[in-house]
Structure 1
Amino acid sequence: MSRSRPSPRTLCSLVVLALLALTGCAAGSGGTGNSALAVLCSNDVEVCRAWAEDFTERSGHAVTTVRLPTSEALERIRHGEDLPEFDVWHGGGSEMYVEAAGEGLLAQYRSPEAEGIPATFRDPEDRWSGVYSSMLAFCVAPQALEALGAEAPRTWDDLLDPALHGQISTASPRTSGTAYTAMALQIDRLGEDAGRDYLEALYGQVLQFTRSGTAPAQVVARGETAVAITFAPYCEAARAEGSAVEVVMPGDGTGYEVGAVAVLADAPHPELAREYIDFALSADGQQSGAASGINQIPTRSNLPDNLAEVLADGRYPVIGSSLAERAARREGLLAWFTEEVER
C-alpha cells in the first residue's frame, strides 16, 4: 500500500514534539532559563504552543513548555519532588489529576475564574480544574477500508472484524490518557470480565501502540492503518489539513475526557503559575487552543457548546462511570494491560 506524504504541519509537529520532550521550548521573546514559567503540557503539540504563546502575549511572561503524554507526565511529576522543574500541568485527562492530588503533588488554588466552571468539572478542594473536553471516536480512512474490503466501523464490536487485523492504531493506556479513556469505557460498557475480554481481542487488532493519544489520527492520515481510536478533534484537524479521513462516533456508546490544569506543589514560580491558571480557566484561555486548528469543547458555562450543554442535549451516545471510579480502577487495569497484553 502506498503511503501518503505527511503534511507540513505534521512534519513540523513531529520535530517540535521531539524538541519539546527533550529540551523544552520557550514561548515569547523574553524568557529563557529559570526565569520562565515552566508548563508540562499533555495535549497536542500545536495546542500546547497556542496556549503558551497566548499567555505570553497577554501577560508578558515567557513560558517554557515540555510536552508529554498524560501518564508519562504524571510519572515525571512524581520523580521531580526533590528538584521541582515545573510550575503548571496543563492538559490530559482529569483521572490522572485525581491521582496527583491524592499524592500531594498539586497545590490548592481558588482562581477567581473558577466560578465559570461547573463544580462537576473541577476538584472540590481547588487542586485542579477541567478546562476542555473531547469525545472519543474512530478516525477512518474510507479508501483504505475499501481496499481491504471492509466496512467503516460503526460500533466497538465492528473493530473486531478480521479484515481490520493490523489495521487499527491506538495509544498505549500506560502512557496515554486518551487510551485509558477508551479502556475504561469498555469496562463501563460491558462490565469487568467481558470488558477485559473485549479489550484483549481489540488489542490483538492493533498494528502498534503509540505513546501519545494524539498520534493515531496522524497514523491513519499517513496511510499506515485504516482506523484510529482517538479524540474526535485530532481526526477533524487531520481532515482539515487535506487528509482523506472521517470521524465516526461509535453508535453503541462513547466516552469523553475532561482535560485539566493545575498548579504543581512546590512550583518554582507560584505567583506566575496562579496567573497562568486564571488564564487557562478564562473564556479567552479556553478558546486559545482553537488557533491550532484543534477545536476542543470548553468547560466554561458562558461559552457556546460548552461541555455541560453537549452532555445535556444528548447529541453523543455518552456512557461511563464517575471520574472517581475511573481514577480508582486505573492502577488495576494498567497492571492487567502490562501482564496480559504487553507480555
Structure 2
Amino acid sequence: MARITRRGVLAAAAALGGGRAGGAAAQEQQLLPHERELHEAARREGELTWYTGQMQAEPSEAIGRAFTERFPGVKVNVVRSTSQVAFQRLSQDARAGVAQCDVFSSVDQSHLTLLKRQERLAQYRPLNASGLIPAVREAGDPDGYFQVSYLAIYLIGRHRRVTEAEAPRSWRDLLDPRWRGQIAVGHPGFSGAIGSLCVALRKLYGWDYFRQLERNRPHIGRSAGDPVTLLNAGERTIGMGVPSPTTLLSIARGNPLALVYPADGTLMVPAPSGALRNAPHPNAARLFLEFIASPAYSRATRPFFAESLRPEVPPPDGARPLDQVPLLMPTAEEVERGIPEVKELWRDTFGV
C-alpha cells in the first residue's frame, strides 16, 4: 500500500489548483468535433430539463452531474418519476401550451412511438449512436426520432430469509399459496416496466395468472423499485418485477437481497429517449442525446449496475450475461396496445 505523506497531499493540491484553468480546455480537446460544436451552442442555452422514468433518483442525478462535468456550463434539471407519471406531466404541459421538457425518457416504449406519431419529437440521430452495441442501435427508431438509452431488466428479488432452495424459480411459482402476504410489486398505472411485465405475462399465461396472484395478497406500490425498499426493510420477502440495477446496488450496500432469474423469462425492455420538438433548449437536448449514446454515459451508469450500451464498457458486476438467460421482450406494438388494457384489468382484479 502506498504511504500518503503531508508533502504528497500538498503537492497534489497544488497540481489540482494549477490545473483548474486548463481543465476545461483539456476536456474540450477530448470532445469529438460534433460534440464541441453542439457544446458551444448548448452553453449559450445554459441548461436542459430531463423528464425520466428510467432509473431511480440517485443514478438519474448522477447522470446529470456526469453530463455537466463532460460539458461544463450546461446544467441538467432532472425531473425523475415513474414512467407513467412522467408521461402524464408531459401531457399536462402540452394541454397547457407549456414547453418545459427538453428530453423525455421512459420505460414504456409506447410513449415515444405515440409522441412520434403526434409529431412532438425532434428528428435527431446522434452520431455517437454508431458505436452502440448492435442490439441497442437496432432497437432505436429507424427514422431517428428516439434512441434506446437504457436496457431495463426486471426479474424476481428475494430477501435472504428465503433461501435459494426455497425461492421461487419462475413467475408461475409466485402463485404458490405459501407466498401469500410475502410479495411486493409495482403498479402498471404508474410504472411502464410493470405495465410491460403484465403484457408479457398475460401473453404467456392469460389474465387468469393475475387473478391467482391476487389471492396471495401482494403489496402494490407504484414504481418497480418500491419492492426493493420493502425487501430491505424486511416487510416483504419476495419482489416481483424488481429492476436489476436497483437490486444489485442495494446488495452492494450490504442489504440481504438476492436476484432470481425466472426460468420462464427475465423481462428486458429497450427503454427509449427522445428530444421534444418544442424543446426550449434544442441544442442542449441534442447534446444530451449524444451523451447518452457515448461511452461516458455507460461509464456514469455502471456504478449503479445499469447494463452497458457500449462495447468499451463492461457489464455490471453481479449480473448474468443476457445471452445466458431466457428473455421476455414484448414488442413496442404489444406494449402500446396492451398497457391500457392491463391497467383496466389490474384495477378490476386488485382494486387499486
TM range (shorter): 0.7 to 0.9
Q: CA deviation at 1:327?
A: 2.2
Percent pairwise identity: 25
Q: Give 2:8's aligned residue.
A: none
- Residue 255 of structure 1 corresponds to which residue in structure 2? 267
Q: Which runs of 5+ in 2 are unaligned?
A: 1-44
* Counterpart contact for 1:142–1:152, Cα < 8 Å: no
Equivalents in 2 of 1:174, 1:212: separation in Å? 10
Taking the TM superposition and a 5 Å limit, the aligned residue runs for 1:307-326 are 313=323, 315-326=324-335
- The alpha-carbon deviation at position 104 of structure 1 amounts to 2.9
Matches within 5 A, 1:98-113: 98-113=113-128
The superposition leaves residues 274-301 of structure 1 with CA deviations (integer Å, 9 ceiling, x where unpaired) of 111100111111221223xx21112335
Output one character per residue of 1:183-232: Cα deviation in whole Å (capped at 9) or x when no partner: 12212322xxxx21102222443443212112211211111101002122
Paired residue for 2:138?
120
Picking from 305, 310, 314, the partner of 1:300 is: 310
What's 2:156 paired with?
A: 138
1:338 to partner: Cα distance: 2.8
1:218 to 209, 229, 241: 229
In the superposition, relative to structure 1, how do residues 53 and 91 fare at CA in structure 2: closer, same or farther (>3 Å)? farther
Partner of 2:238: 227
Question: Is 2:262 the partner of 1:244?
Answer: no
CA deviation map 1:14-70 (0-9, x unaligned)? xxxxxxxxxxxxxxxxxxxx9531111212111101110001111111111111100
Could you report, residue by residue, the CA deviation over 1:287-320 in whole angstroms, capped at 9, with x for unpaired residues?
Answer: 21223xx2111233554459xx955x3x111134
In the alignment, the residues of structure 2 paired with residue 289 and residue 245 of structure 1 have an alpha-carbon distance, to the nearest angstrom, of 21
The answer (yes or no) to whether the contact 1:253–1:318 under 8 Å persists in 2 is: yes
- Note if 1:286 corresponds to 2:261: no
The 5-angstrom pairing of residues 65-214 of structure 1 reads: 65-81=78-94, 82-117=97-132, 118=134, 119-143=137-161, 145=162, 151-190=166-205, 195-214=206-225
1-structure distance, mates of 2:190, 2:265: 24
Give the unaligned 5+ runs of structure 1: 1-33
8 Å CA contact 2:156–2:259 kept in 1: the answer is yes
Deviation of the 1:262 alpha carbon? 1.2
Q: Contact conserved, 1:135 with 1:254, CA < 8 A, in 2? A: yes
Structure showing greater radius of gyration is 2
- When residues 104 and 141 of structure 1 are mapped into structure 2, their CA distance, relative to the original with a 3 A threshold, is same
The letter of the residue matching 1:300 is R
- The 8 Å contact of residues 47 and 284 in structure 2, kept in 1 or not, is answered as no
Q: How big is the alpha-carbon RMSD for the aligned residues of Structure 1 and Structure 2?
A: 2.3
The CA deviation at 1:103 is 3.0
Displacement of 1:97 after TM fit? 2.0
Q: Tell me if the contact between 2:244 and 2:305 (Cα under 8 Å) persists in the aligned partners.
A: no
- CA gap of 1:64–1:319, structure 2 versus 1, over 3 A, is closer
- Please, what TM-score do these two structures have when normalized by structure 2? 0.78
* 1:101-142 residue CA offsets vs partner (Å, 9 max, x unmatched): 233332211211122343431011211111221322111013
1:80 match: secondary structure: helix
TM-score of the superposed pair, with normalisation by structure 1: 0.80
Which residue matches 2:278?
Answer: 266
- Pick closer, same or farther for the CA change 1:206–1:237 going to 2, 3 Å: farther
Matching residue of 1:27: none
- Corresponding letter in the other structure for 1:270: P
